[in-house]
Structure 1
Amino acid sequence: MTVLATPVALARARAAARREGRPWTFYALAGLFIFYVVALYGPMICIYVLSFQDVRGGLVFPMKGMSLHWFVDLFTQVRTGDVKGSFDRSIKLAVLVTAITVVVSFMAGLAFRRRFPGDTAVFYLMIGSLVAPGLVLGIGTGLLFNALGIETSWYTSALGAQLSWILPFGVLVMFAVMSRFNRVWEEAAWDLGASRWQTIWLVIVPIIAPGLIAVGLFGFTLSYDEFARTLQTAGSLNTLPLEIWSMTLNVTSPSLYALGTVTTIISFAIIGASLATIALIQRRRAEGGRPGGHA
């Protein structure tokens, strides 16, 4: 005979559990987690706080005053270098890498839905660059462009070096997205007379749009922060990660911290916009599936 627990019995059991206390493993794991969080976010928080000092500020605590002085000083290009130009180049390069990654990954996802001769070799060649050291791959890319007579720059050789690293990630993400795509919708579009291009643009792309946004976000963030593969391929003009690295050699003011704060805000803004777009798409789909909603 099964005895159902009453609310009173449950309350007594909870009270007894509280009196007994938690096992020591709980406190050990909680302490380990707290240490992990502090080690991960503590240095970042210190940088953000110190970037808001006034003109008397230094690179260490205690904090001296509070102002936006170092954010203004950051873009004067007198003491800190070409921050504005490097930021502009990094954004343009990241947008270009994102566009190419989304398009090529989407095409690869469509192509690999069916087997074709040599597909295994193509797949392993595509992801082979993931195991190559970034610095070595950057040097090889720079040497290749020099051998071809193409000047190394942030929009040629740096673009190629970054794509060799970012494209495989985008393709792997797209494979996961396409594996969940129900081809019944595609076949239904064909039955209704849609061409293959119409099926792709009006059926497949809207359905996998959150996945495409995820691939784009992946490509943008990896390109925006890429250092090793860009170091030997950017030419005479730095991208933002290279500019930050050079600043660590000659800048001894909180301007460096201010730059870290600005780049973090931009990264979070892009991530937030991408997540908001995905949430909006999902909400519209949910509303379209309700009675009275728009399909």
Structure 2
Amino acid sequence: MSRTSTAPTELQAVIFDWAGTLVDFGSLAPTQIFVDAFKSFDMNISLKQARGPMGLSKWQHIRTLLDNPEIARQWKECHGQLPTDADVDALYARFMPMQIAKVGEYSQAIDGVQQTLAWLRQQGLKIGSCSGYPRQVLDVLLPLAAAEGITPDHVIAGDELPAGGRPGPYMALANMLALKISNVAACIKVDDTTPGIEEGINAGMWTVGISLSGNEVGCTKAELAQLSPEEIKALKALAEMRLREAGAHYVIDSVADLPAVVELIAERLKAGERP
């Protein structure tokens, strides 16, 4: 009996990250709260350090920060021993209410997101999403985003899957299952963090990195306005390098630039190319 090929020829879905990708230009909400949570334990970490593991689930993010030799040494000097998982639990317990209280302050949609999502739906594409945020935080963020017209067809939180989060493929694949997508190659994963790009690659999807609005550049619009074109160009180049090293097939400034890339990927898929 001959087998009919199931290789996709058309895109079916785009799966987005949240902070730095759809909302919160510069991805400030999670990074600033990490700094504040560590400060409440008499620990001083920088925004740059806080950004390092961005994209991981928040518990794993804290664990990764505490594994940093400089931060671990500071913890030992302050608390008398190297940080344990119990310390991660304590920091996470402090972080969660602070994040829930503050996420709304950083929930503004990134310019062009609503138009891009509308365009994707006009193309017949489904819209998934996932985040390193726990469900309790997303439960605050989602209604605020919906009020601005951001309503994905499916949402997965960073603490919802037993298999874990990024850089594993699980949240991306959970979206694929929920949206009833027939082939991973028919999906695009869009993310502003390196673990989020690795998530898409590990899931077998096309990946698009976000540089200017996301964690890798890590500037608010006001901060960018104070920089010269040369400084912005240098920040974007470094962000693009990191995202491409993680496996991004394309890198764009923000989701506003996504339609042109979707059209390019659609042509490559139709021509028989795969991620």
Q: Which TM-score band applies after superposition, normalised by the shorter structure? A: under 0.3
User: Taking structure 1 as the reference length, what is the TM-score of the superposition?
Assistant: 0.24
User: Taking structure 2 as the reference length, what is the TM-score of the superposition?
Assistant: 0.26
Greater share of residues in helix: 1
Greater share of residues in strand: 2
